[in-house]
Chain A
Amino acid sequence: MLTLLRPAAVLLACATLLTGLLYPLVVTGLAQAVFPAEANGSLILAAPGRVEASALIGRPSERDRDFWSRPSATSPHPYNGAASSGSNLGPYHPALVEAVRGRVEALRAAHPERAGVPIPVDLVTTSGSGLDPHISPAAAHFQTARVARARGLSEETVRGLVDAHTEGRMLGLFGAPRVHVLRLNRALDALPPGGA
């Protein structure tokens, strides 16, 4: 047994050096050299040194003129990038059903043009991370009439912009079609006033 002590201790030390320090440092070095933007969080800079957002983390807007993101379960406030969290509510938890009922009512009130249209599920459910930057194309199209109204644009223009910002599945197989909410809102902001 005593003859096992040295190899056990030394090999653990070797593994710590190799896989706990050398390996992450080599990956960090290569990542920073080859993919610097991605390795640092895919940040969007408003100005040099001023980070506006990460392209991968949702940045919601509640204004009528913007597309709205999914609800978020992070605390203490939604879309808290420092502490990711899902709701972890079971499918029939009364709190989930009540929360969704409230969100449905709010959406219905804000979208009179869509009366009777089934509500896209992602628009009233929280994501796993609480940081989801995307909504489904159906969830975007559900909002086009409100956004067009608030911005004084034709709904056709807004719909066209949604379609242009819709990403499909990878190879037609993996993932799901989606719209990046922040990019779509920025593209709206970039339109000339009064519509194109």
Chain B
Amino acid sequence: MTAQAWATMAAYVALLLALAVPLGAYIARVFTGEAHLARRLLGPLERLSYRVAGVRADEEMSWRRYASALLLFNLFGVLVVYGLQRLQGVLPLNPAGLPGVPPEVAFNTAVSFASNTNWQAYGGETTMSHLTQMAALTVQNFVSAATGLAVLVALIRGFTRRLTETIGSFWVDLVRGTVYVLLPLSLVLALALVSQGVVQTLDGAVELAPAAAAGQETEPASEQIALGPVASQVAIKQLGTNGGGFFNVNSAHPLENPTPFSNLLQMLAILLVPAALCFTFGALVKDRRQGVALFLAMLVIFVPLMIGTVAAEQAGNPALTALGLDPAGGNLEGKEVRFGVVDSAIWATSTTAASNGSVNAMHDSFTPLGGLAPMWLMQLGEIVFGGVGSGLYGMLVYALIAVFIAGLMVGRTPEYLGKKIEAYEMKMGMLVVLFPAAAVLLGTALACVLPAGTAALGNPGPHGFSEMLYAFSSGANNNGSAFGGLTVSGHFYSVAIGLCMVLGRYGLIVPVLAIAGALARKKGVPMTAGTLETHTPLFVGLLVGTILLVGALTFIPALALGPIIEHLSFGAK
């Protein structure tokens, strides 16, 4: 690996940290209700929305009511997104005259955007009208991220509150996350992206003059260039860990990600909010060291996988080098020259560490080992930074499991942040671990034995298996990136991955809220000499070990059939 690559990775992590710490402190103030600039400017919007919705800001909810409100709101979201797609042909803001989306793809897309997955079984510029992109997809980009944020804040209240039945108001958490966190950040990022050349217009495609008139002999190569309200959607797709792009090839498209600077901004935005939330957590539990410990646990898993992916992609493709290609060029199939191998590999690791799923290069064309790290990061449960809110609440569930295992080893009742961790929390925690893992493995197995599963493959042999494994890993963990060679617009994949996305999102949110409710009811226990401290390097090691052990035992057999065997068959020199 080149010195250039090391320097780029170090600079990326340093910039991320420099931005995440202050943002984390700000988000904590948003949810404690303290005064801040955005509240002074946008406070009337918050209060107006409560008034028309008939919501009292101080009305608290039990965990069951909180979960009901969340599920109902998300259900309405699915219905609206489905309806707008089906009806877009007769609705305004459709300059390309696109017809309604077929039912199975519309269902898949509705679930996909509501669940913060943004799996895309369609090509954006050739399927979705501007109205659908804005009023259906962009809206869900905001509120699905705000939903994850709300669940995290509710879980943190479970730790900080004592002897109470309530964990906050979903309506208030939803509105504050949207208006004070996601909206201002998106506005700034969208304009910064436009300055680089990301398009933002309500017009449709632009016609190119025939090239012959410009002095060319050959026929014009591209008669049309698709345009649209791109920057506004790209900003929130990155900040909200959504990942659903405007164009088919997402952030590899020059009008969605035109320069190295726009690429850097988007790479930072992918991990920004999930990383910042670690520091928000530290502030809200009034012990910054707890947040730093969780951040470090994430970083300890992320950095080696990033280095491994960069190294694998820089090493290039031996099958092509044998044809006389420059071995120093790396693996450039599916990558853009302006980003190069290094920034594409860093992006691939970041977008799968976060449950983002936007891409600036085609993951299907990565080397076997370069594609393995992104796949495994998703399979770990999207907790290494993970989605907005969802990454950290998943990580907190693993922290509970880690203290529980430690408690078993020394024969003491496990505690975390002054709360006893008992059988009920562990049962709910196991659901959080098992649901997505089961969905990935059973879904892939089903795809392998059904003709509809294997007919959709874009690649033969172990790489074809990787395409299926990647698809279900992405769907069940709400990532949304894909090995794009797989044709996923058919009935089988639309429905199967749609169901995986539902299970992987709401099958986790409900148990997490149940844990929040159970914790809030408990009294605090004082720290004693026998309490396991949860901010020490020992605990970080225990937590990382737990995550990697579960992830390795569950998925290495499947990975062995895909990327590992592919590497051993073709890639090993």
Contacts and interface: CB of A to CB of B under 8 A. Distances in A.
B221 A11 contact: no
Given A31-B200, A131-B254, A132-B337, A86 B72 contact: no
A175 B362 CA distance: 17
B227 interface: yes
B53 A104 contact: no
B201 A39 contact: yes
Contacts of A40: 199, 201, 203, 206, 227
Contacts of A86: 249, 252, 334, 362, 364-365, 484
B413 interface: no
A88 B566 contact: no
B70 to A, nearest CB: 9
A57 to B, nearest CB: 6
Contacts of A120: 325-326, 329
Interface string A105-119: 000100000000011
A135 to B, nearest CB: 6
A127 B324 CA distance: 19
Contacts of A169: 4, 260
Nearest to B569: A92
Given A12-B76, A20-B139, A91-B571, A57 B175 contact: no
Contact of B135 (A20, A62, A93): A20
B485 interface: yes
A20 B77 CA distance: 12
Contacts of A122: 329, 332, 337
Interface stretch (B338-346, B402-410, B426-434, B472-480): B338-346
Interface in A23-41: 23-24, 26-28, 30-32, 34-35, 38-41
B359 interface: yes
A18 to B, nearest CB: 7
A83 interface: yes
Contacts, number: 384
A108 to B, nearest CB: 8
Contact of A42 (B55, B223, B247, B258): B258
A5 interface: yes
A138 B340 CA distance: 13
B135 to A, nearest CB: 4
A97 B194 contact: no
A43 interface: yes
Interface in B211-264: 211, 213-218, 221-227, 229, 231-233, 235-236, 247-249, 252-255, 258-261, 263-264
Give chain A's interface residue range (CB within 8 Å of chain B).
Answer: 35 or more
Interface string B28-60: 000000000000000001000100111100000
- Most chain B CB within a 10 A radius of its CB, from A8, A18, A42, A83: A8
B195 interface: yes
A122 to B, nearest CB: 5
Given A91-B571, A174-B343, A129 B191 contact: no
A100 B233 contact: no
B221 A79 contact: yes
B126 interface: yes
A54 B205 CA distance: 12
Interface stretch (B97-105, B278-286, B312-320, B531-539): B312-320
B222 A57 contact: yes
Contacts of B566: 90, 92
Given A92-B566, A129-B253, A132-B254, A12 B73 contact: yes
B126 A4 contact: no
Interface string B49-85: 1001111000000000100110011001100100000
A19 B334 contact: no
A129 B249 contact: yes
Given A19-B143, A100-B325, A121-B325, A79 B222 contact: yes
B324 A174 contact: no
B183 interface: yes
B53 A56 contact: no
Given A81-B222, A86-B252, A121-B326, A1 B335 contact: no
A146 interface: no
Given A35-B195, A39-B194, A83-B123, A128 B361 contact: yes
Interface in B325-375: 325-327, 329-344, 359-362, 364-368
Sorted nearest first, the 8 A-B pairs with minimum C-beta distance are A175-B260, A176-B340, A121-B329, A128-B252, A81-B225, A88-B485, A90-B463, A118-B326
30 contacts: A5-B72, A11-B171, A19-B143, A21-B134, A24-B138, A24-B233, A28-B232, A35-B195, A43-B206, A51-B209, A59-B211, A83-B125, A83-B226, A86-B334, A88-B458, A91-B463, A92-B566, A92-B569, A97-B323, A104-B323, A118-B325, A118-B326, A122-B337, A127-B334, A127-B336, A134-B337, A173-B4, A174-B260, A175-B261, A175-B264
Interface of A: 1, 4-12, 14-16, 18-21, 23-24, 26-28, 30-32, 34-35, 38-43, 46, 50-63, 70, 77-94, 96-97, 100-101, 104, 108, 118-122, 124-136, 138, 169-170, 173-176, 178, 189
